[in-house]
A and B are shown apart, each in its own frame.
Chain A
Amino acid sequence: MEILVCVKRVPDPSENEIEVNRDGTDIERDDLVYSVNEWDNYAVEEAIQIRDKVGGSVTVVSVGDEEAEEVIRREMAMGADKGILLSDDAFEGSDGKGIAAILTAQVKKGNYDLILTGAQSDDGAAQVGGMLAAMLDWPFASLVNFIEILDDKKIKVGREIAGGNQEIYEMDLPCVLSIQTGINEPRYVSIRGIRKVASLEIPVHTAGDLGILPESVGETGAKTKCLDYFVPELGDGAQILEGSTDEIIDNLIELLKAKGGIK
């Protein structure tokens, strides 16, 4: 089975407090720690597990600048066979549809049976997988938390729905699935593992290589554009307890007693 996994380099939520920059044009990007989008990491692990069971290969692809190479390499250290970087100045400022169009061009160059994306990334949009499937006219399922390969034409998938319940489907290949966290336990990547793939070549494909009209993607092609970043003015918000730890605990225990929080 030929599997393509789409990944994105994002600020690591466990390592950063995200703040708005001084003029509100972006988040403050100085000193941010980046990593692979958490959902995408589960998707790569799932692809590797499928390949190890039924054979084939796993290719990791990312749309981004040269810095995206580090996350592609990280996922290759996990066990992906190949990496591809889709990079062009014309891609900058793409909205979800632009990213999906760039990925579609790459998918059409290959011979993939299964495309995996993360269910969402740092912007919470949860859009690229569904758009990619629609552009390819392939079946799609989102929030997938279970995959079983039935044969080379069919798979069984579970989708996470409300209340901890799960929908089960049978799907024809080729198809696109967006992967929910928790579907597996992504393996640890050691520094040694990353060193082992450090010299592997990651081909870079540009708009020209992919046959994409530059004006159809990037900022010019985007119908939805970000104007500014801001911190919303909150309603009342929480009353923040201040003082020494002892004072805060005194205060908190009184509140807990009053509200029935200590039985």
Chain B
Amino acid sequence: MAQQVFAYIIHKDGVPDDTALELIAAAEKLDPDASVTAVVAGDGNELDSVCNEVASSCAEVWKIENPALAYITAEALRPLLVSILPKDGIVLVPHDHFGMDLAPGLSIKLDAAYLPDAVDFEGFDNGELKAVREEYSGQVSTHVLSDISEGAVITVRPGSFKADERKRGEGQIIDKTDQAIEGSLPAGARRFLEIIEAEVGDVDITKSDILVSVGRGIEDQDNMEIIFELAEAMGGDVSCSRPIVDAKWLEKSRQVGTSGQTVKPKVYMALGISGAFQHVGGLKGTPFVIAINKNPRAPIFQVADVGIVDDILDFIPELTERINELKSG
């Protein structure tokens, strides 16, 4: 394939994000003959250390350096990428909060195909890429065919390609700043003000060994009681998935997931949680995962060690009662 493949590298505090090596692995799965070019934007020493680290994993690194990029926003970055990327380039971006901000508009400005949230690639032939996506929060998968012959922007789901840790010697670092930025960077129509850090809650679920985690299957706020009763019986803490926080039934600090907390318990009870990748992405370490869900197709059963197909509203009170009997007996 003559088309160049690019991986956009997200980084923080001078360290490449976990997705950096995943994108390089994805690029090689897309086209085993591709020499991958990493694209890194930022400023100063942090930018240099990211470029140096990434250079050991790919053929070439393009860097864009500017003080205004010390905190990168998608709106500021997009026109710079449009200035440097070739017309038929294939650009991989993580499907995370940054990629969702950057990538759809980038595909329009490059007049390229857009393939969102790819979890696998299954072959590239005659300008067409066959890829795997998921729909309905992972309940079903689809094969999609994308005409990428005139360029493409592809967002890749974090965690779906195994990071390629191989070192390939020193890739060349090429400074693309002059081509990307003419003169100074304008403030633009969307101006960064600040970051508001997550509030700390009354319970720190990141430190819990046992988490009793509740999702949409609880159906009603009045039913939340059975979750707290089970957690008390087990000696664990209550956490949750996103819909419970959206409904304001629990505080945000109890939410497990990419937009919430990253937890590493020994035992994780997923109760009425479907298991969207954003939720599972917050589960680290090697927890023993027990999923209880009335939908046998819930994606949570793919990541659980043990599954029970039942309605949590029926099952949980019985389980709690039995644990309490056991402890008092």
Contacts and interface: CB of A to CB of B under 8 A. Distances in A.
> A and B: real partners?
yes
A108 interface: no
A252 B290 contact: yes
Contact of A160 (B259, B302, B303, B319): B259
A191 interface: no
Contacts of A260: 209-210, 266-267
Nearest to B12: A162
Interface in A237-263: 237-241, 245, 248-249, 252-253, 255-256, 259-263
A18 to B, nearest CB: 4
Given A131-B108, A224-B145, A230-B142, A263 B323 contact: no
Nearest to B277: A124
A166 B195 contact: yes
A119 interface: yes
Contacts of B166: none
Contact of B234 (A231, A245, A263): A263
Nearest to B129: A224
Given A13-B136, A124-B135, A143-B101, A230 B198 contact: no
Given A123-B135, A263-B210, A168 B196 contact: yes
B307 A131 contact: no
A18 B140 contact: yes
A208 interface: no
A223 B245 contact: no
A245 B310 contact: yes
B308 A127 contact: no
B100 interface: yes
A164 B255 contact: yes
Contacts of A237: 301-302, 304, 307
B290 A18 contact: no
Contact of A240 (B136, B260, B308): B308
A18 B297 contact: yes
Contacts of A95: 114
Interface in B288-329: 288-291, 295-297, 301-310, 314-315, 318-319, 322-323, 326-327
B177 interface: no
Say whether chain A's binding surface is mostly helix, strand, loop, or mixed. Answer: mixed
A131 B302 contact: no
Interface in A197-230: 223-230
Nearest to B99: A126
Interface string A117-142: 00110111111111101110011111
Nearest to A127: B104
Contacts of A124: 116-117, 133-135, 137
Contacts of A159: 97, 101
B189 interface: yes
Interface stretch (B26-34, B51-59, B61-69, B246-254): B246-254
Contact of A249 (B130, B139, B189, B319): B319
Contact of B116 (A125, A241, A263): A125
5 contacts: A139-B188, A165-B197, A231-B141, A252-B290, A262-B326
Given A160-B97, A165-B198, A248-B308, 20 more contacts: A13-B274, A20-B140, A95-B114, A123-B135, A126-B95, A126-B117, A131-B104, A134-B108, A140-B75, A142-B101, A143-B97, A159-B97, A162-B96, A163-B261, A164-B252, A167-B192, A229-B140, A238-B304, A240-B308, A252-B306
Interface of B: 73-75, 95-98, 100-109, 113-117, 130, 132-137, 139-148, 188-199, 209-210, 216, 233-236, 242-243, 245-248, 252-253, 255, 258-262, 266-267, 269, 274, 288-291, 295-297, 301-310, 314-315, 318-319, 322-323, 326-327
Interface of A: 11, 13-14, 17-20, 27, 95-97, 100, 119-120, 122-131, 133-135, 138-143, 156, 158-172, 175, 178, 181-182, 185, 223-232, 234-235, 237-241, 245, 248-249, 252-253, 255-256, 259-263
The 10 tightest CB contacts between A and B, nearest first, are A263-B235, A130-B104, A164-B198, A238-B307, A134-B105, A261-B267, A134-B108, A182-B246, A139-B189, A223-B113
